Structure 1
Amino acid sequence: MTTAEVRAAPAGIEGVVARMRRLAETLPPRDGVAVFNHVYLTVTEEIARRLAAGAFADRVSATELDVRFAARYLTAVDGAAAGRRPPACWRPLLQLRGHPAVRPLQFALAGINAHIGHDLPLALTDTCRALGVEPYALEGDFDRVGEVLVALEERVRDGLAPGPEVLDVADPLTHLVGAWSLEAARGAAWAAFRGLWAVRDLPDVSGELVERLDSGVGLVSRCLLTPLG
């Protein structure tokens, strides 16, 4: 999905929240996209609260990034609903969203992986282009968003884990989700963004990098969605 193919972004972070809430109303709770959308909506509402409270150094760039970031996810979902082929990173979740042997926590992590691993580097690049800034201008607020995500990650895992107990060590889900790291995914996304920014004036190179990034992230999401029964 190129920048040109991303549908018109919602109007501000309030528009993003409204769009996610409307999407939630149309999906059954057990649907894999609904599970991820609930997690993403929770994060976005928290970001909106912190923006309003002045927690970000640059409200304009933080809002621009948040909206462009969300637009890639919403474009993928809307495109799939319209019969268009989604990016490789989103295909596993969209194809397996109704699989009865895939657990809610897997759906959530696969969506987070797709969105951070692929969409975030592209949204960062688009934001720098739109605002005419260099990557270092976004780094501080990128880290502040990371703090929000880390704070919510444990709640997400606990809330979607099967049953009130901590996952048993013998449960395959324990090993599957333990192999994925939010911190590592965000670090890889920042490195991919810097690489894309460095070759932004070389369309053949940047295009190939985006394609490989998309397919690689999709492979990880497919592994996260291994049916466990």
Structure 2
Amino acid sequence: MARSEHLTTPVDAVVSRMRALDAALPERDGVAVFNRVYLAVTEEVDRCLDGGGFADPRAAIALDVRFAERYLAAVDTAAADRRPPACWRPLFQLRRHPGVRPLQFALAGINAHIGHDLALAVVDTCRALGCEPAELEDEFDRVGDLLTALEERIRDDLMPGPDLLQIADPLTHLLGSWSLERARDATWSAARALWTLRRFEDVAEEFTERLDAAVGFAGRMLLTPLTD
């Protein structure tokens, strides 16, 4: 596909792909849990685009599509029995583990996608549009705000009831170990660093690999089985 065509890929196409995954995957599957979360975010982005919620719709579409394509590429890689990026491996490896709770699957997917994919998507978008990361900061922040609002709803929807979630529950400690706000801040710093390093391919590649591994390690901790 030519780059100019790629830039005009509608968010609707990404939404359609996620809806197809939602229909095909078992409800309790860990990837399905995250996919439902991400589908809701992407639908909200689409509504914001239609409603004029982005100052630069072209940049917002480019960032959103490149962001989504990294997740969908990981799905395709796993489906082909190949190794997805390290950040996604814990979710695909533990997607059917009965001891992992739905909230863990959702947060592990968000961790992989925000912590790794978003930084690379910012760089991809800057290259495609011929702009600097600072010129995408408004779109980055707007998508981040949508994710933050959705994360609060996710916790409400997927959190066990008060009678099940006691202070000693291991899930309480896992939830306290990860913050979307901190992940967003780290991702923006990573995107700026990668953009600065783009002329030094070896260093940029090493930085990307280490970022991937670190995010994967955090995801593995989030997916610690809490029951057998």
Same fold by TM-score, threshold 0.5 exceeded?
yes
SS at match of 2:86: coil
1:94 aligned to 2:95? Answer: no
Q: 2:105 maps to what in 1? A: 107
Query: What is the alpha-carbon root mean square deviation over aligned residues?
Result: 1.5
Give 1:162 shift. 1.9
Measure, in 2, the Cα distance between the counterparts of 1:216 and 1:58: 32
Q: 1:44 maps to what in 2? A: 42
Once the two structures are overlaid, the 10-residue window that deviates more, 160-169 or 14-23, is 160-169
Which structure 2 residues correspond to residues 96-135 of structure 1 after superposition, within 5 A?
96-135=94-133
Give 1:141 shift. 1.4
Sequence identity of aligned pairs in percent?
66
Which structure 2 residues correspond to residues 35-74 of structure 1 after superposition, within 5 A?
35-74=33-72
Give 1:147 shift. 1.5
Once the two structures are overlaid, the 10-residue window that deviates more, 30-39 or 162-171, is 162-171
Give 1:167 shift. 3.1
Give 1:107 shift. 0.3
SS at match of 2:166: coil
Q: 2:3 maps to what in 1? A: none
Give 1:168 shift. 2.1
Measure, in 2, the Cα distance between the counterparts of 1:165 and 1:48: 37
Does the Cα contact within 8 Å between 1:102 and 1:226 map onto a contact in 2? yes
Measure, in 1, the Cα distance between the counterparts of 2:100 and 2:129: 41
SS at match of 1:199: helix
Give 1:165 shift. 5.8
CA deviations 1:111-142 (Å, max 9, x no partner) are: 00000000000000000000000111100111
Does the Cα contact within 8 Å between 2:91 and 2:109 map onto a contact in 1? yes
Does the Cα contact within 8 Å between 2:165 and 2:172 map onto a contact in 1? yes
Q: 1:183 maps to what in 2? A: 181
Give 1:203 shift. 0.5
Does the Cα contact within 8 Å between 1:35 and 1:104 map onto a contact in 2? yes
Q: 1:4 maps to what in 2? A: none
**Please, what TM-score do these two structures have when normalized by structure 1?**
0.94
Of residues 194, 198, 201, the one that matches 1:200 is: 198
Gaps of 5+ in 2: 1-5
Of residues 161, 165, 169, the one that matches 1:171 is: 169
Gaps of 5+ in 1: 1-7
Aligned residue pairs: how many? 222
Give 1:83 shift. 1.1
SS at match of 2:52: coil
Cα gap change, 1:41 to 1:98, in 2 (>3 Å): same
Does the Cα contact within 8 Å between 1:33 and 1:93 map onto a contact in 2? yes
Q: Which amino acid in 2 is paired with 1:182?
A: L
